[in-house]
Amino acid sequence: MNKEWSEFNKTMQGQLKKRETFSQGIETLLTLRSELKKEIFRFKDELSGVEFCAAPFINADGYHSKTIAYSLWHIFRIEDITAHTLIAGDEQVFFKQDFQKRINSPIITTGNELIKEEIVRFSEALDIDELYAYISEVDKSTSKLLSSLSFDDLKKKVTDERRTALENLNVVSSSENALWLIDYWCGKDICGLIKMPLSRHWIMHIEACLRIEDRLRKLWLKG
């Protein structure tokens, strides 16, 4: 893991544990997310449409076996789902602003059910500009949500009503590659959701994107 990002993540987790440093922990998290967004938006400035959809490690195990477009979709669909349906209990940005149509996505799920060439074809279908509009809107809404939380909110568990709401939305595929997410998220408290979907999950997938980008640069140089 990138040392700077790792240090931010470690500091944030420690700060969230104590009431007296909770507010600092939220600020540290927002700073970490701001740093990670620099890489996300650098991709938009520097990568071509072909590069967003390329899967140079398609047969590998790990997050780097995906595409950059898929990875960004996956990060922010999961964030939208967990922040709104499970933490806030309100409507996802995706539905509220009609992003399925805007992005031209064939799915409304996290994408966990997709594999190999399916991921490439999915990536090729997406409107990257609208995907970035979605990223911005989800990030903005999550930042507002994080800033509204209190220390006492952290230990709150996902309610049965919110789990049912999640299941009824069909935003998690019934595929065995995806269905486990419901138990995983709903077994966490709000603090646990902050520490994974809203922070560490970003780091893991962005680092995978950087690995994909590096591999593509080397391939283009050879070509």
Of the two residues 92 and 220, the one the predictor is more confident about is 92
* Rounded average pLDDT over 172-194: 96
Would you state the pLDDT for residue 1? 67
Distance CA 128, CA 53 (A): 10
User: Worst-scoring range by mean pLDDT, 1-15, 17-31, 126-140?
Assistant: 1-15
Quick: pLDDT tens for 58-81. Answer: 999 999 999 999 999 999 999 999
Q: What is the DSSP string of the chain?
A: --HHHHHHHHHHHHHHTSGGGHHHHHHHHHHHHHHHHHHHHHHHHH--HHHHH--TTTTSSSGGGS-HHHHHHHHHHHHHIIIIIIII-S--HHHHTTHHHHHT-S--S-STT--HHHHHHHHHHS-HHHHHHHHHHHHHHHHHHHHH--GGGGGPBPPHHHHHHHHHHT-S-SSTTTTHHHHHHHTSBHHHHHHIIIIIHHHHHHHHHHHHHHHHHHHHHH-
Would you state the pLDDT for residue 221? 72
Mean pLDDT of the residues in the chain: 96
* Rounded average pLDDT over 11-40: 97
Residue 223 pLDDT > 60: no
* Rounded average pLDDT over 39-51: 97
Of the two residues 171 and 222, the one the predictor is more confident about is 171
Contact 135, 72 (CB under 8 A): yes
Residue 194 pLDDT > 90: yes
Per-residue confidence at 219, pLDDT binned at 50, 70, 90? confident
Would you state the pLDDT for residue 220? 76
Contact 99, 130 (CB under 8 A): yes
For a pLDDT cut of 70, what percent of the chain falls above it?
99
Distance CA 67, CA 185 (A): 24
Structure-token pair, residue 14: 């420690």
For a pLDDT cut of 90, what percent of the chain falls above it?
97
Beta bridge partners of 189: 157
Measure Cα distances from 13 to 16, 172, 197 in Å: 5, 27, 14
* Rounded average pLDDT over 135-142: 98
Residue 222 pLDDT > 70: no
